[in-house]
Amino acid sequence: MRISDAIKSSPWWIGFIFCVFLSSGCSTSGIGDNAQPAGRLPGIQPDYTGITLPATIAPLNFSIKEAGLEYMVQIHSTRGNTIRIHNTSGIVQIPLSQWKDLLSQNPGEDLLYDISMKNPIGQWVRFDVIKNHIAQDPMDGYLAFRRFKPLYSTYATMGIFQRCLENFDEKPLLLNRMTGDNCLNCHNFLQNGTDRWLLHMRGGAGTSMLLVVGDNVRKIDTKTKFNGPVAYEQPRVILS
């Protein structure tokens, strides 16, 4: 049988050629021992370098602020599988499950970031390793914050939101469209707990403070002839 006939009659040959094609198209030749050292840390944003992070925090995604054609990021520690990200954008979106697996296995250990880049003339360079540390202490799992557009003198919509710091889940606690489009501002939690906290409002439904104790919510009017629309109540109210 001629070679050409064998190729045509062998279904596995198509798969073999396809695999070779993929391998050549996804080659990372030059990354690793063949990459030239940059002799400095890479520029990344946010600048997550030399920090201590909780073992349960959500992935700290970042962008590589270096001009290049391709980027390779390898995140690893003492135990667990290395996280590998290879793209042409320099935007590093870390998979949640892989990140959680890696951090959960390495409390108290260093977290290392190996970043390489193909520069504009086609040469691979390797930056110095970014070294962060994984804390052993737990963190509070949630953060409450006020969100509105970045204008200091005016607003249209705003709200108090809750964010889970262990992933990217977020939900509103109170939106000002529910209270006459008023201003929702200072909020405070007693000793970081959620059973006693307060929130101040101005305008709309009235200048007042919402005092939350357990499942009970009280509206306390703190406005007087003296303080007007900037009335506030002292936190000692919830301490008594």
- Residue 124 to residue 108: CA distance in whole angstroms: 32
For the segment 23-81, what is each residue's pLDDT rounded down to a tens digit? 333 444 446 558 899 999 999 999 999 999 999 999 999 999 999 999 999 999 999 99
Residue 17's pLDDT band, with cuts at 50, 70 and 90, is: very low
pLDDT attached to residue 207: 63
Report the CATH number of the 30-134 domain: 2.60.40
For the segment 177-233, what is each residue's pLDDT rounded down to a tens digit? 888 888 887 788 888 888 888 888 877 666 677 888 988 888 887 777 766 555 554
pLDDT attached to residue 154: 67
Residues 6+ apart with CB under 8 A from 213: 195, 196, 238
pTM of the shown model: 0.73
Domain ranges across the chain: 30-134, 142-239
